[in-house]
Chains A and B, each alone.
Chain A
Amino acid sequence: MSSGNSETIWNLYLTLGLAAAVILFALISALVIYQRRFVKLHRTYSKNLLSAQEEERAWVAREVHDDALQRVAMLAHELHEVADEPPGNVDRQRQRIGAIVTEVEDLGVMLRRVAHRLHPSLIDQAGLVPALEGLAGDVSRAHGIQVDVEIPPSNAIPGVPRDVALILYRIAQEGLRNVARHSGVKRASLRVVPTQDNELSLEIVDRGRGFVHDDHPKSHKGLGLVSMAERARLADGRLEVWSEPGKGTRLRAIVPAHQGEVS
């Protein structure tokens, strides 16, 4: 009987040991596999980021070189002609100067567009809420999408530092761009809600075609979602994505808010 007992106990130990071994092996393999994917994801991310920055620069260069400089050259040419023209025909001169003024104004609009793309100054001047409202308006005009904005008045939401506001603005920008490009519907909603834990949540919802989302790097061809998550993380926050084919997409960026700072 005692030898039977000790055998039983030995077998129990063996069972526990085997179970622990299986669990430990799973844990370590998971860590190794996950870490490798993480590294790979970040390598593609920084590569994509680099090329995206290059593209952005190329865009600015193109705008400035092909468009702005052309216009400046033309303006210079026209101004020369006005200057060389014999005096007398005042009406004609006035007409030409009027045309030049319009062109200068156009140029101003174009340059403002370039500058705005580089940095949305509205955030500095007016704060996050008007900047988001402006963004919604821009998107409506540019893509014909109706954006239902639902933002409590500035004094009802906790303030966030300026860099966090910029991060939220960029996330909204990319989120709405994705709606315009991928959702297939002409309507979206943009909501800013304070949470109970003194956080600020920015939500972009569409009822469009949706997509299958997982965190496998292979499926991350685009840069938008990754960079939104990265941006949220920069602000000590997080990004949540709900989507299902045919059921639309809901994007939520949550960042901590700090009491008493400008919004």
Chain B
Amino acid sequence: MDTLPWELHAATALEGLIPLFVWLRSRLAKTEISRPRRLVMAWLLVQFTSDLFQLYTMSRGISNLWARYLISPTSDVLMLYALSMWQTHPLRRIGIRVAMLVLVPVWFGYAIAEGVGAFGRYSDPLRSIVILVATLVTLVGNGLTTTTRISRHDWFWVAAGVALYFALEAALGPFLEFIFADSRDIALRAFLFKARFDILAYLLIAAGLLCPQETARPSGTSI
């Protein structure tokens, strides 16, 4: 598959390299990685595995459409749970966890109704929108209540990166499918456009995973 543009390879490589690097650094510095950070690392690894699997099956001409039914719910649960753990107010924490529990079955129903052949044309934007809203809730809700500089918080960088990732996913997904039939060229350009921003999104997430951790976790007693 050496005909694929470098952006795609770079995005995939980052998905695998970032968790590896974060893990190695914590080993060397003998620090523990906080639980939401570990979940985000797992999310990246799921993206990585899924991309590798797709490359492999594509090169062999095997159908890989069914894999979405496994990968999408897993990665959504990981990401939403990580975001929920970062909330400074219990109301938002509960809300994101409920959204996570509701999203999975609703998404399943929609994806099955849509059919395997639809490539998740509409069911994928559904999950993207829900996760996008969860990241915005994190940024605004936590941002308004923090008493320290916002750029010092890991959730800020991670939520910004994830928001970027899923905003493009939600916006470009159906668009791509829509125009794919008309112009292969535009579709490819949009695809590359997304891949470049994915790289940026992953770098933002990496910045969050690498920023110094508070020794003690602020907890929601700010009544």
Which A residues are within 8 Å of any B CB, using their own CB? 8, 11-12, 14-16, 18-19, 21-23, 25-27, 29-31, 33-34, 37, 210, 213-215, 225, 229-230, 232-233, 238-244, 247-250
Contacts and interface: CB of A to CB of B under 8 A. Distances in A.
B103 interface: yes
Contact of B221 (A33, A34, A215): A215
A12 B130 CA distance: 15
Interface of B: 90-92, 94-96, 98-99, 102-103, 106, 110, 121-123, 125-126, 129-130, 133, 147, 174, 178, 214-223
Given A22-B106, A210-B216, A239 B223 contact: yes
Looking at A12, A30, A238, the one whose CB has the most chain B CB atoms below 10 A away is: A30
27 contacts: A8-B174, A8-B178, A11-B174, A12-B122, A15-B174, A16-B129, A19-B126, A23-B130, A25-B102, A29-B94, A30-B94, A33-B94, A34-B91, A213-B221, A214-B220, A215-B221, A229-B221, A229-B223, A230-B223, A233-B223, A239-B221, A240-B218, A241-B221, A242-B219, A243-B219, A244-B215, A247-B216
Contacts, number: 100
Contacts of A30: 91-92, 94-95, 98
Contacts of A11: 121-122, 174
Nearest to B216: A242
Given A34-B90, A210-B216, A18 B110 contact: yes
A22 B216 contact: no
B219 A213 contact: yes
B147 to A, nearest CB: 8
